Amino acid sequence: MKVKIYTTPTCPYCEMAKQYFKLKKIEYEEVDVSSDIEAAREMIEKSGQMGVPVIEIDDNIIIGFNKPAIERALKNI
């Protein structure tokens, strides 16, 4: 399972998502789109969104800290 979170340093929902994954002991890759323009482009291309967090769990794209969607994506893996 590969989990990637597109974030910015000032995003409270990004922090909530990271804390959730830490609590569940799920490793994730954090990508700060405020300092990585190429990652920001990648996030927009994958999700159609300019806001964060955007969470990628394998091939599932989840917009925002949507806990039910995250749990469904984790169960499908």
E strand or H helix at 44: helix 37-47
Q: 34: domain CATH number?
A: 3.40.30.10
Number of domains composing the chain: 1
Residue numbers of the chain with a pLDDT score lower than 50:
none
One-letter identity of residue 31: V
What span, in angstroms and rounded, lies between the C-alpha atoms of 25 and 10? Answer: 23
Structural domain boundaries enclosing 29: 3-75
12-28: per-residue pLDDT in tens?
Answer: 999 999 999 999 999 99
